[in-house]
Structure 1
Amino acid sequence: MPTLLQINVTANWGSTGKIAEDIGRIAIEAGWESWIAYGRGNPHSQSKLIRIGSDFDMNLHGLQTRLFDNHGLASNKATKHFIKQIKAINPDIIHLHNIHGYYINYEILFDYLKEWGGPVVWTLHDCWPFTGHCAYYEFSNCYRWKSRCYDCPQIKSYPASLCYDRSTKNFFDKQESFLGCKNLTIVAVSDWLRGELKKSFLKEYPLLTIHNGIDLSIFKPSAIKACNNNGKNILGVASVWDKRKGLEEFVKLRDLLPENYLITLVGLSKEQISSLPDGIIGIRRTENVQQLVDLYSMADVYVNPTLEDNFPTTNLEALACGTPVITYKTGGSIEAIDAVTGITVEYKDIHSLSEEIKHICELSLFFRDDCRKRAEKFYNKSIVFQQYLKLYKSLL
C-alpha cells in the first residue's frame, strides 16, 4: 500500500485544506494510506492527521515575522520533531501545499526533502514561494521578484512585518532552499500562475496546471426564488474582504447601477457591514453551505472584481449553481469562464464593469444550463483531483 503525506497550513478547512482533504480521500479510495500534516485548527479528516507544533509555536512564529520579516524561518523545534514523524511514516510521495502560515520552517523542511530524495509534489496556491515577502503582487504592480526583491511595497501586508524589510534576504534564502530538490514537480492551480512561475527562479522544475475543483453534488442550482422580484440581484463572495478582493469596487458600483439592482456581499466583518451604503446587503461569513448555494442560485450575475487572485473557487461555485460570472482580467480569475458563461472586463475599469453587469441582467446573455455544464465538464472535484493520483503514479 503506497503512502501519501500532504503538508498544508490547514486540514479540511479553508480552500487549501479542503483541497488536501479531497486529494486524500481520492487516494484512500484508490488503496493508498493518506496522512495530512497541518499547522492550525482542530480538524476532522478521513486521512490520518499530524499537527505541526502548537498554538504557542504558531504565535511565536507570527511574532518573529512581525518583528524581523523572517516568515517561514521560525518553528525550528516543531519542524525538527515533524521530520522525525515523517521518517516514521516513510511516505512514498510528499505533497506540499501552503508551507507559509506561521507553522513550519521551510529551510529545515527542504534540507530534509533533498536528503530524502523521494518524489515531491508542490501545489502552489499563491505566489509566496518565489517572492521575498508577499503572496500576491498585482495590486501593488511590483515585479521585482523576477530578478531580486528589495524595498518591498507590501511589507505591512501578509505576512506582515511591522518595521523591518528583509525581502532581499528572504528572496535569496528561498532560492537557496527551494532549488536543488531533484524529484520536485510543481503544480500551479491556474495557467496564469504557471506562466508567472516560468519567469521566476522556480522555472527549472517541471511545471503543470491542475485547476481546482468543487463538490457538484452540493453546489448546484436550487429552486429558491429571489426576494428582489422587481429588480436584479448581484452577488459577491469572499472569505476575507480586503482591498485586493474588490470591496471598494462594489461601493463604486452601487453609485453606477440602477436603484433596483440589489448587491449582496457574503463574508464581511461586522465593521464592514456597518459601513456599507444603502443598496448593499452585507452577510457575515457563513458555514451554512445551503444558504450560500441559494444566494448563488438567486443571483442574476456573480461579480468578482478581484484586483489580484490566482484561481478563485467562488467563480466555480457560481457556475455550478447556474450563475454567469463577470470578473476583471486579473490573474487566473478569467480562466473559469468562456464566451457563453461570463464576461471579462479590463482591470479596474469600473464603468465597463457596471455596463456589462447591466447587459447581462437586462439582455439575459447567458443560459444557466451552459454555466452548469461548464462546471460539470471542467470543475468536478472527483474528476479534477484524479489528476494528482495519476501524477503520483507517474512519479513512482
Structure 2
Amino acid sequence: MVRKIQASRRALGMNYAIREIAVPAAKLAEQGRELCMLNIGDPNKWDFETPAYFKNALRKAVDHTDNGYGDSQGNPEFRQAIVDREFEKHGTRITPDKVFVTSGVGEGINLLMGALVEEGDEVLVSGPGYPSYHQYVDFYGGKIVSYRLIEDEDWIPDVDMMRKRITDRTKAIVVINPNNPTGAVFDEKVLREIGDLAAEMELPIISDEIYDKITDKPFFSMSRLPSDVTRTILNGFSKVNLMPGWRVGYGYFMDESGMLDDVWEGLMKQCRARICPNVPCQWAAQASLQGPQDYIVDMNRRLRDRARFSYERLNEIPGISVREPQGAFYMFPKVELNGIWENDKQFVLDLMNEEGVVVVHGSGFDPEFGQGHFRTITLPRIEVLANAYDKLERFMIRHKA
C-alpha cells in the first residue's frame, strides 16, 4: 500500500469563498453550460482594459532591465514613486524606507499576518469583510473577531461593537475601505472614531485601500489620521490601475511610536526569504503612477452607471434587497431564504445550477454578519447585468411560487 502524507491543517482549512465557488462553476462549464460569472472582481474580464502606456512600459522593462533579482523590499525607485503618489492622492508624507512591495495585496496580508499573529491572537475584521484576512489569520493560528458593518446605515462600521470585542489578545484592527464586499465608502467621521479607539487601546490599524480611486464620494485615507495612530496601509495595482494579472501591490508603515518595530523586522525577514517582487512589473507599475490618470474618470463613469442600474433592478426582484454602493465594484444583496434554502451557500449553488448565474455566498465573507446575503459585481456591461438579473428574478419567482 502506498503511504499517504496528510496535508497540514493550515492548508486544508483554507476556504477562499470567491475562488472556491468557481470550482463547481468550472464543472458546469465543462458540461457546456453557459455561465454569467459575477463572482470575481476582475475588471479585465469585461470591457475594461489595461491602458496602452502601461503595457508599453512593461515591454520596455523586459528589454531595458537586466531581468535579474531586485531589492527584497521593492525597487528603491518604485518605492519613491509610491511615496510621491501617496502624497499626491492624500497629502500623506511617508518615506520609502517604510514602503514594501508585494505580489498583490494578498501577499501583503500574508506577510503582515505572518509577522503579527501568534497562536491564539485575535484580529478585528469587519463583518462582512474580504476573506483573505480570515484565511491568513487562521493559517497562522490566530482568531478572527468580527465587528459589524451596519447594513441599514449603508454598512458603516459599528465602533461600539468594535470596542466591546477588543480583548487582551487583540493584535490589530482591520479596516477595508472602500469596502469589499459591500461597496461602502466610510465617512471621515467614523474613520477618525476608529483611529481614536485604536490610539486609546494602543492597537495598530491595518487599512486596506486598494479601491481608493474608485468612489462616488470623497475618500478619506487612514494615512491622514493623527500621528499617534499606528497604521499599516495596503494598496495595489489590480483594481484602479487595471492590471490584476500583474500581481503588484504595496504597503507602508506609519508608526511614530515604534509599536511595530518588531513586526516590521519580521515582515522584512519574510520579504528577504521570498527573494524579491517581480522586477519588470515594478518598473511598469511605476510608469502607471507617473503617467496620465484620465482613464480613471471614464472607468468610474461606467461603473457608476452600472451600479445605479444594478441597485434599481435588484431592488425590483421579489425577495432581494440591496443598499446602493458608493465605491469599488461590488454589491452585497440580502436574500430572503424563508426556509426554501438551508443557507446562503445553498441559494448560490441552486442559482448557479438552475440559471447559470455565478455569485458568491455572503457567509464566505463572514459567517456571523455575512449570512443571508450574496456578493455580486457591477463590472459587466448593462445588457449583461440585465440578463443576469432577469434570470435571478425568474429563479426567485419560481421558488417563491
Does the pair score TM above 0.5? no
TM-score (norm 1): 0.30
TM score, norm. by length of structure 2: 0.30
More helix per residue: 2
